[in-house]
Amino acid sequence: MTNRISLAKLAKQAGVSTATVSRVLNGKDVVAPETRQAVLTAIDLLGYERPEKLRRRPTRLIGLIIPELSNPVFPLFAQYLENALTSHGYTPILCTQRAGGVTEDTHVQLLLDHGINGLIFVSGLHADLEANPQRYQKLIEQKVPFVTVNGSNPVIKAPDFSLDDALTMRQAIRHLRSLGHSQIGLAVGPSRFVPVSRKTASFKAEMQRLFPTQPVHVTNTLFTLEGGQAATQKLLDYGCTAIIYGSDIMALGGIQYCQANGVSVPDDLSIIGFDDTPLIRFTSPSLTTFRHPLQEMSQMAVSTLNDMINGVDLEPHSMTFQSELFVRESTSTLA
């Protein structure tokens, strides 16, 4: 290709030496950026075709929409998804949400305006049973590749990658039962969210199976420290000796409530969290909680999205991943 290019003409047009032109054409880094740009401009002005190594590669962009970052599990998701996207040659555009901030729909439209190649939704409106799923149907009709994470919704015909919430509830209850607990409560977020509804259904079924004569105690609140504190107070009033929380942040709120009100963890109340984010294991007492395969989930989600972008015809499917219970100091035998 370079044989068709006259080094002398390029040098004259760019105002540099033929040796400098040669270095630019061969991709040498020793040329100053402004000099390199002058040679590239001369190539374009003289109507030459740029050598392959000098052509601009189109940027492949993926919109990554996740909830607010105050819950440590979401920055972890963002990190693993970004690593997986980078390994496939994509550049992620991170969009976060918070109450009163930019909506998911606005984020999506802005990303579409930027020509993104695909979208990843983490715990978004796809996981909200009260949200209109038509927004996702429109993306399907527009042939925008996307996958969802944490919130498989059968109405949305797209690949989803979620935790096995039902299994975690059964494991948590069985662990507490092995320690002698039967008065077990569940503290989770709003019931309209898919993971919450699945945790709740599994918790109720397992409790009714193991303890058929006892009432089942579930408290719906917010996925916050304050939500965990409020739920703990309510469930203690019900006589619970153990509580399973829908997030580590809520469980930490539960521990704080107990410490402020003279309730010993785990002597008076055993506590199980959900997420095992890096710093949570250093609480006092250290938290018994579930660790999720976030890296594996992220890699599978990105690999599937990459296949969709490259034209692989995939049937919508839901893939579930098992979490592992890590037993630490916040659970113990019922006194």
Higher-pLDDT residue of 175, 20: 175
| CATH numbers and ranges of domains, the chain | 2-54 (1.10.260.40), 61-163+294-322 (3.40.50.2300), 165-292 (3.40.50.2300)
pLDDT of 6 strictly over 70: yes
- What are the CA-CA distances from residue 91 to residues 38, 148, 156 (Å)? 28, 18, 26
Total Cβ atoms within 10 A of residue 183: 17
Angle at 155 between CA 321 and CA 313, to 5 degrees: 70
Q: pTM score, two decimals?
A: 0.82
Each residue's pLDDT tens digit, 76-93: 999 999 999 998 889 999
Each residue's pLDDT tens digit, 180-207: 999 999 999 999 999 999 999 999 999 9
- Supply the pLDDT for residue 53: 67
DSSP category for residue 288 = B
Total Cβ atoms within 10 A of residue 187: 29
Please, what sign has the CA dihedral across residues 114, 119, 121, 122? negative
Q: For strands 160-163 and 146-149, give the pairing.
A: parallel
Partner residues linked to 62 by β-bridges: 92, 118
The C-alpha atoms of residue 176 and residue 137 are separated, in whole angstroms, by 42
pLDDT of 286 strictly over 80: yes
Q: For strands 184-188 and 160-163, give the pairing.
A: unpaired
DSSP category for residue 100 = T
When pLDDT is averaged across residues 21-47 and rounded to a whole number, the result is 79
Each residue's pLDDT tens digit, 47-78: 777 776 666 555 799 999 999 888 889 999 99
